Chain A
Amino acid sequence: MSLLHDRRAQLLLGLLALMALVPLAAGDYLLSILITVLIQAYLGMSWNVMMGFAGQFSLGHALYVGLGAYAGGALFVHYGTPPWIGAIAGMAVSVLAGTVIGTLGFRFKVMGVYFALLTIAFAEFTRVLFDHWGWVGASSGLFLPPAANASADNLWLLRGSATMFYYVALGMTVAAFWFSRALLMRRIGYYWQAIREDQDAADALGIDVFRTKMIAVLISAAMTSLGGVFLAFFNNNLYPESIFSMHRSIELILGTIIGGIGTLFGPILGAVVLTALGEGLTILGAHIGIDGVKQIAYGICLMLILILKPGGLWPWLRSRLGLAGGTR
């Protein structure tokens, strides 16, 4: 099936064109919200590879975000290494961490909730470790020097305006989408789904379960750490207690679960819905003027979505739009 004749592909290309044109019209407020959406979608897709495709529940993805962020940030601060080179180091470290967690977890048959708690434990362990590691600034944080000239965009060093960061985030999201799609269409994608549905059956069919699950962990770790590099250069400061926090791990997966786990478009839809919800409720909360109202409403909305659409919003929306069938 040619890409251009598929109704879904047409919709996607239209959306992409629209997104590419946004900075021409949008103000900085909208732009900064869209960057939040895109990076959340990107990280959600990275997590989706491991959880949505292969069914391995990680609640400690902040670990890979932090490792990528610190690798990119520290190399830049100490040696002036460009972030794209630093990202390779970050991915390497994250893959290593993923290998340790995956090997230990899968070899020792730690599954389900237990596996999720193992990932939390590793993330928290690393957080405390970084709190004491002087080379990366320990708990006083690591600061990336801001650009001398804020208006000049330098894509190689990732120093520049919000518009530049927007396009980088858009590029990363599109690449992640395309990459996830490619993975799903390959043999490995089908293996993952087989394992997710019934690991024992997959094993009986002769799939190398351990190796297949490991590949999902490693790809997911590498993708997530690239998102971490982006965050480091976008925020210009890193603190172990925020970058490795469990709160970040949770934030990272919310969008994907709400959007529809295991689907290609779910993480994007989830990020859009949650960010819009958050901003909308912030405005509402500001009118009411009681601190905490926003979060209560946010919690209730999450709960309602779960009760009404436990499979996520995208599978439901997809069928409403008449895009059902075929792949995701």
Chain B
Amino acid sequence: MDATFFMNVISAGLLTGLVYGLMALGLSVIFGVMRVVNFAHGDMMVVAMYAAFLLYTKLGISPVPALPLVAGLLFVMGYLLQRLLINRFLGATEHIQFLLLLSLAIIITNIVLMVFGPDARNIQLDASFESYSLGPLILDKVRVIAAFTAGGVAMLLWAFFRYTTTGTAIRACADNPVGARVVGLDVEKLYAVTFGIGAACVGAAGCLLLLLVDVHPHLSSDYTLLGFIIVILGGLGSLGGALLGGILVGLSEALSGVLISPSLKSMFSFGLLILVLLLRPQGILGKKP
């Protein structure tokens, strides 16, 4: 195994990690503001992937241009879910919230199963089999596209929270919900917007992931778990942390796969999670609670 081999592996790990990171961003946003752990996260992503699949097969819109559409759809879905269902459970204990979102996940997974059937679906773009060659380095084209789009979406999100009034108001809610109410902010509405934004991130990530993996209804629980590992690593509620966590998971999977055994690689992600939980429970970039 020579240096170019490792460079190839590391770059693949980095690129995949960025997309993982984008997927986890939504989870992080929702938890950071509302303290709700979204156990239906992976299911929302599967919905997004099927939406992108339909847009491509029925209307010929490929996933990257379809991204705003799918994100918009997921925003509406998230907004309504928060307004109609999750809002009344905001103060509930963790296990009740967990069970609520779990039952939501069961419902979504099986609706998807009923509508689309159990087969794995994928889309074929011309780029699907192409790769860039940079000297000895071979970079998978769709992975590069997905990773850069993921980075772009993350920047947009950061700018939203930093520079817009709504973004600032949401941050105020996250820091002090009571105070936010006192100064006259419509906290319920802001929460719904936040849930919508979280869902929209998941939607964006779903579009990009469709370029990399095939979608089937039972993909969801794996991605929910993966999302959790990433946000805990990076720090729940931290945007940069989610991206960093994604990259860390991507890299650790790549390196452990090469150095030890690929079938053991998920063990290393969990090992990393345990380590971070113990040494820095708030995550690498998380704020102290």
A and B touch in the complex (CB under 8 A): yes
Cα–Cα, bound, A237→B270 (Å): 26
Quick check: B232 and A117 within 8 Å, CB to CB?
A: yes
Query: Which listed residue (B89, B221, B271, B281) contacts A108, Cβ 8 A?
Result: B281
In the complex, A290 has a CB within 8 A of chain B:
yes
Query: Which listed residue (A108, A121, A254) contacts B273, Cβ 8 A?
Result: A121
Query: Which listed residue (A59, A110, A310) contacts B92, Cβ 8 A?
Result: A310
User: Cβ of B7: which chain A residues have Cβ within 8 Å of it?
Assistant: none
Quick check: B94 and A116 within 8 Å, CB to CB?
A: yes
Stretch at the interface among B66-74, B109-117, B153-161: B109-117
Which chain A residues (104-125) contact chain B, with CB distance < 8 Å?
Answer: 104, 108-110, 112-114, 116-118, 120-122, 124-125
- Chain A residue nearest to B281 (CB atoms) is A110
Given contacts A57-B94, A108-B277, A108-B278, contact A298 B106 (CB under 8 A): yes
Given contacts A253-B95, A292-B113, A306-B96, contact A124 B274 (CB under 8 A): no
Quick check: B95 and A295 within 8 Å, CB to CB?
A: no
Cα–Cα, bound, A246→B95 (Å): 15
Given contacts A122-B274, A125-B274, A257-B99, contact A114 B232 (CB under 8 A): yes
User: Cβ of A59: which chain B residues have Cβ within 8 Å of it?
Assistant: 98
In the complex, A13 has a CB within 8 A of chain B:
no
Closest Cβ of chain B: how far from A248's Cβ, in Å?
12
Stretch at the interface among B16-24, B141-149, B201-209, B260-268: B260-268
User: Cβ of A290: which chain B residues have Cβ within 8 Å of it?
Assistant: 114
User: Cβ of B95: which chain A residues have Cβ within 8 Å of it?
Assistant: 51, 57, 253, 257, 261
Quick check: B107 and A128 within 8 Å, CB to CB?
A: no
Cα–Cα, bound, A284→B270 (Å): 40
Quick check: B99 and A121 within 8 Å, CB to CB?
A: no
Quick check: A250 and B102 within 8 Å, CB to CB?
A: yes
User: Cβ of B229: which chain A residues have Cβ within 8 Å of it?
Assistant: 121
In the complex, A129 has a CB within 8 A of chain B:
yes
In the complex, B187 has a CB within 8 A of chain A:
no
Given contacts A113-B37, A114-B281, A118-B274, contact A295 B106 (CB under 8 A): yes
Quick check: A128 and B267 within 8 Å, CB to CB?
A: yes
In the complex, A175 has a CB within 8 A of chain B:
no
User: Cβ of B88: which chain A residues have Cβ within 8 Å of it?
Assistant: 307
Query: Which listed residue (B110, B113, B225, B274) contacts A299, Cβ 8 A?
Result: B110
- Number of contact residues on B: which range applies? 35 or more
Cα–Cα, bound, A306→B92 (Å): 11
Quick check: B278 and A110 within 8 Å, CB to CB?
A: yes
- Chain A residue nearest to B113 (CB atoms) is A292
Cα–Cα, bound, A120→B107 (Å): 22
Cα–Cα, bound, A292→B218 (Å): 12
Which chain B residues (57-114) contact chain A, with CB distance < 8 Å?
Answer: 85, 88-89, 92, 94-96, 98-100, 102-107, 109-111, 113-114
Closest Cβ of chain B: how far from A292's Cβ, in Å?
4
Cα–Cα, bound, A113→B102 (Å): 14
**What are 14 residue pairs bridging A and B, where the CB atoms are less than 8 Å apart in the complex?**
A110-B278, A117-B273, A120-B225, A121-B270, A121-B273, A121-B274, A128-B264, A253-B95, A254-B99, A292-B113, A299-B107, A302-B99, A303-B85, A303-B103
Closest 3 A-B residue pairs measured CB to CB? A299-B106, A299-B107, A302-B103
Chain B positions near chain A (C-beta within 8 angstroms):
37, 85, 88-89, 92, 94-96, 98-100, 102-107, 109-111, 113-114, 221, 225, 228-229, 232, 261, 263-264, 266-267, 270-271, 273-274, 277-279, 281
Query: Beyond the given A113-B94, A306-B100, could you list 12 further A-B residue pairs with CB under 8 A, ordered by the A residue number?
Result: A57-B95, A113-B37, A118-B274, A120-B225, A132-B261, A132-B264, A257-B95, A257-B96, A291-B113, A291-B114, A296-B107, A303-B107
